[in-house]
């Protein structure tokens, strides 16, 4: 289906033309109730999209696109376990991972038996570590847990582990290692005691180069320090869909926690991949996280489009990308504990929807996902916000903040929130020539004012949404992550692509394996392109 040829798409395009010369200032002055009309609330989350360049009819018109793309049908197909990940012939059932009870209504199979049994094993394992009863090879309690994984086997638990660090177990340190670069693992190992360290090998495929190399190095370090290869079975656990490979590595069966082909890496934090997180925050908090996600699932499945947070968020993204022409959008958390949220969203959105071929194998008729980027908002203000304010580019932003702080210091939280609210207002409303002139008049000679004036003008009209959370508790964070997951799904359906495969990551992996032997053997360099040959030659000069 070519969505851009549909009547709803054309209606949105006509509407865009009618709004194209309207500034956010005018939209606000025309409608005093705009903020209330263009905000949605869900549990402890306020989603204010009134500073987007939309009016109430925009959302209704965009909703027709979701209907045209048969979003309801696709949603039910996902929830009923149909193999909607066509290119990999897989179901997409991460939503089953947050359910508290079975059976899961699936046409083909019920997954809840496996999900609940694995969750019970995770709870027992996490409890034994948290209570200090899980002992290492030498009989000492485990005190450090190192999650070795990358992409979806790292970003979700790491992001939430940081977001919830205020409730983390005080005597158990959880670390994350993803990078091939020894600069991450080597300094960490120096701080660890092998007798009290447990490694979690998180890899759905159990073949990912980065994870396997780090795992091998960790294994060698452990065996060298404890002097016995049998120690591996007490100091390693695996979270994987390939248990046979974990057994080969030396991990005992009781320490292998399964996941399944129907959960994609970037949607897997709710599964055994979340074990490091469960160990840190405890099974009760983990259950609350799942509950928050499940509540968002129910909302997504049942709320009318115009009141449905994931749907509205997705439609606004499509509006900004396909109708206003934005090529990127910025994620700006005003909360230090959310520092990994932009990276998490980069994988969730760009690995899911960074595609130009549709589910039918044909080129898409429009561009799909914009570039997702971001940084802690307060730091960004003193770095790149200049471009957002005066760079002349359209960069929609998601501002995210929590009202209550987990680390209250006198005056800090109020100032942080004031900055967050100020930036979205300044971006939206800007400062006109007249306003700038009024400020400058009388402060300096006229010629200086004239020279300075153009620099003091802010065009405004930069669109943003603000997600204000009551606080960073597990339930609210569960809802927040599920909100973005469903946003990605809705956009994928409207763009007509498969959000659940990731063929684009394969080529680089294959090329890297062919280059690897040539790093050490100059005779193999000849088959590569001149640039790669030059890089290899330079490398050989300096590599010890």
Please, are residues 252 and 243 in contact by the beta-carbon 8 Å criterion?
no
- Give the number of other Cβ atoms within 10 Å of residue 129's Cβ: 22
Q: Which of residues 283-342 bind ligand F6P (CB under 6 A)?
A: none
Q: How would you class 28 by CB atoms within 10 Å of its CB: exposed for 0-12, middle for 13-18, buried for 19 or more?
A: middle
Q: Which is nearer to ligand F6P, 357 or 524 (CB)?
A: 357
Q: Which is nearer to ligand F6P, 130 or 204 (CB)?
A: 204
CB 151, min distance to ligand F6P, A = 3
Please, are residues 485 and 292 in contact by the beta-carbon 8 Å criterion?
no
CB 204, min distance to ligand F6P, A = 4
Q: Which is nearer to ligand F6P, 246 or 280 (CB)?
A: 246
Q: What residues does 464 pair with on adjacent strands?
A: 397
Q: Which of residues 344-363 bind ligand F6P (CB under 6 A)?
A: 351
Please confirm, yes or no, whether 10 is among the known catalytic residues.
no
CB 273, min distance to ligand F6P, A = 8
Binding mask 449-488 for ligand F6P (x = CB under 6 A): ----------------------------------------
Q: Is 505 in the site for ligand F6P (CB under 6 A)?
A: yes
CB 209, min distance to ligand F6P, A = 9
Q: Which is nearer to ligand F6P, 258 or 265 (CB)?
A: 265
Answer for which of 50, 106, 476, 502 binds ligand F6P (CB under 6 A) is 502
Read off the tokens for 337. 């504990």
Alpha-carbon distances, residue 118 vs 72, 155, 183, 275, 478 (angstroms):
31, 21, 34, 11, 19
Please confirm, yes or no, whether 351 is among the known catalytic residues.
yes
Stretch that binds ligand F6P, among 121-129, 144-152, 243-251, 320-328 (CB under 6 A): 144-152
Q: Which is nearer to ligand F6P, 113 or 504 (CB)?
A: 504
Interatomic CA distance for residues 347 and 199, integer angstroms: 24
Interatomic CA distance for residues 440 and 269, integer angstroms: 53
Binding mask 186-225 for ligand F6P (x = CB under 6 A): -----------------xxx--x--x--------------
Which listed residue (230, 362, 509, 527) is catalytic?
509
Size of the site for ligand F6P (CB under 6 A): 14
Please, are residues 426 and 397 in contact by the beta-carbon 8 Å criterion?
no
Please confirm, yes or no, whether 23 is among the known catalytic residues.
no
- Number of residues in the chain: 544
For the chain, the distance separating the N- and C-terminal CA atoms, rounded to the nearest angstrom, is 56
Q: Which is nearer to ligand F6P, 447 or 506 (CB)?
A: 506
Q: Which is nearer to ligand F6P, 150 or 280 (CB)?
A: 150
CB 149, min distance to ligand F6P, A = 6
- Give the number of other Cβ atoms within 10 Å of residue 407's Cβ: 11
Answer for which of 44, 161, 258, 265 binds ligand F6P (CB under 6 A) is 265
Q: Which is nearer to ligand F6P, 413 or 502 (CB)?
A: 502
CB 415, min distance to ligand F6P, A = 37
Q: Which is nearer to ligand F6P, 150 or 275 (CB)?
A: 150
Q: Is 266 in the site for ligand F6P (CB under 6 A)?
A: yes
Answer for which of 44, 152, 317, 374 binds ligand F6P (CB under 6 A) is 152
CB 242, min distance to ligand F6P, A = 9
| Ordered alpha helix ranges (H), 338-454 | 341-345, 352-353, 377-381, 385-390, 412-429, 433-440, 446-452
- Give the number of other Cβ atoms within 10 Å of residue 275's Cβ: 26
Stretch that binds ligand F6P, among 107-115, 150-158, 292-300, 419-427 (CB under 6 A): 150-158
Stretch that binds ligand F6P, among 69-77, 149-157, 246-254, 405-413 (CB under 6 A): 149-157
Tell which phi-psi region holds residue 139, choosing left (phi > 0), alpha (psi between -120 and 50) or beta: left
Answer for which of 8, 44, 81, 151 binds ligand F6P (CB under 6 A) is 151
DSSP string, 471-503: ---HHHHHHHHHHHHHHHHHHHHHHT--TT--G
DSSP string, 266-307: GG-TTTGGGHHHHHHH-HHHHHHHHHHHHHHHHHHHHS-GGG
Closest residue by Cα to residue 354 from 147, 175, 505, 469: 505
CB 153, min distance to ligand F6P, A = 4
CB 202, min distance to ligand F6P, A = 6
Interatomic CA distance for residues 373 and 466, integer angstroms: 16
Interatomic CA distance for residues 291 and 284, integer angstroms: 11
Which listed residue (288, 294, 351, 485) is catalytic?
351
Please, are residues 170 and 189 in contact by the beta-carbon 8 Å criterion?
no
- With CB atoms as reference, the residue minimizing the distance to ligand F6P is 265
Please, are residues 475 and 410 in contact by the beta-carbon 8 Å criterion?
no
Which listed residue (382, 446, 447, 455) is catalytic?
382
Catalytic annotation, residues: 351, 382, 509
Binding residues vs ligand F6P (CB under 6 A): 150-153, 203-205, 208, 211, 265-266, 351, 502, 505
């Amino acid at each position: 289906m070519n969505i851009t040829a549909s009547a709803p798409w054309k209606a949105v395009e006509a509407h865009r033309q009618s709004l194209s010369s309207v500034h956010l200032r005018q939209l606000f002055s025309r409608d005093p109730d705009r903020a209330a009309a263009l905000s949605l609330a869900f549990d402890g989350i306020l989603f204010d999209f009134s500073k987007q360049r939309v009016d109430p009819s925009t959302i209704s018109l965009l909703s027709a696109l979701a209907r045209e793309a048969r979003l309801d049908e696709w949603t039910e197909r996902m929830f009923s376990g149909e193999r909607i990940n066509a290119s990999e012939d897989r179901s997409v059932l991460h939503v089953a991972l947050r359910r508290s009870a079975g059976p899961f209504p699936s046409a083909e199979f019920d997954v809840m038996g496996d999900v609940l049994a694995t969750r019970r094993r995770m709870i027992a394992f996490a409890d034994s570590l948290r209570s200090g009863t899980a002992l290492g090879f030498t009989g000492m309690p485990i005190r450090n847990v190192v999650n070795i994984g990358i992409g979806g086997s790292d970003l979700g638990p790491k992001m939430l582990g940081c977001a919830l660090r205020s409730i983390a177990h005080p005597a158990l340190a959880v670390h994350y290692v993803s990078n091939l670069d020894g600069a991450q693992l080597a300094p960490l190992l120096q701080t660890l005691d092998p007798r009290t360290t447990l490694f979690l090998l998180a890899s759905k495929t159990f073949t990912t180069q980065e994870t396997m190399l780090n795992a091998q190095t960790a294994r060698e370090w452990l065996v060298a320090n404890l002097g016995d290869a049998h120690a591996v079975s007490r100091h390693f656990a695996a979270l994987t869909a390939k248990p046979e490979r974990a057994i080969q590595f030396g991990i005992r069966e009781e320490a292998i926690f399964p996941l399944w082909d129907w959960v994609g890496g970037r949607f897997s934090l709710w599964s055994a991949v979340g074990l490091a997180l469960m160990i840190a925050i405890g099974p009760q908090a983990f259950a609350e996280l799942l509950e928050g996600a499940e509540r968002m699932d129910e909302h997504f499945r049942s709320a009318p489009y115009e009141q449905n947070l994931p749907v509205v968020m997705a439609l606004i993204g499509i509006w900004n990308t396909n109708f206003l022409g934005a090529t990127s959008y910025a994620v700006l958390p005003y909360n230090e504990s959310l520092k990994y949220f932009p990276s998490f969203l980069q994988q969730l959105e760009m690995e899911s929807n960074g595609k130009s071929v549709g589910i039918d194998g044909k080129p898409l008729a429009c561009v799909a996902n914009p570039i997702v980027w971001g940084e802690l908002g307060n730091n960004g203000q003193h770095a790149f916000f200049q471009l957002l304010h005066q760079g002349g580019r359209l960069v929609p932003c998601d501002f995210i903040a929590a009202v209550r702080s987990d680390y209250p210091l006198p005056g800090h939280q109020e100032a942080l929130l004031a900055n967050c609210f100020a930036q979205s207002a300044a971006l939206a409303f800007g400062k006109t020539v007249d306003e700038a002139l009024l400020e400058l008049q009388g402060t300096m000679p006229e010629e200086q004012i004239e020279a300075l004036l153009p620099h003091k003008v802010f065009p405004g009209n930069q669109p943003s949404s603000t997600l204000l959370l009551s606080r960073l508790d597990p339930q609210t964070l569960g809802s927040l992550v599920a909100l973005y997951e469903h946003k990605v799904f809705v956009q994928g359906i409207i763009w007509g692509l498969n959000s659940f495969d990731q063929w684009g990551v394969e080529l680089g992996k294959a090329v890297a394996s062919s280059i690897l032997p040539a790093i050490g053997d100059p005779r193999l360099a000849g088959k590569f392109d001149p640039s790669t040959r030059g890089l290899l030659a330079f490398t050989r000069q300096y590599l010890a």
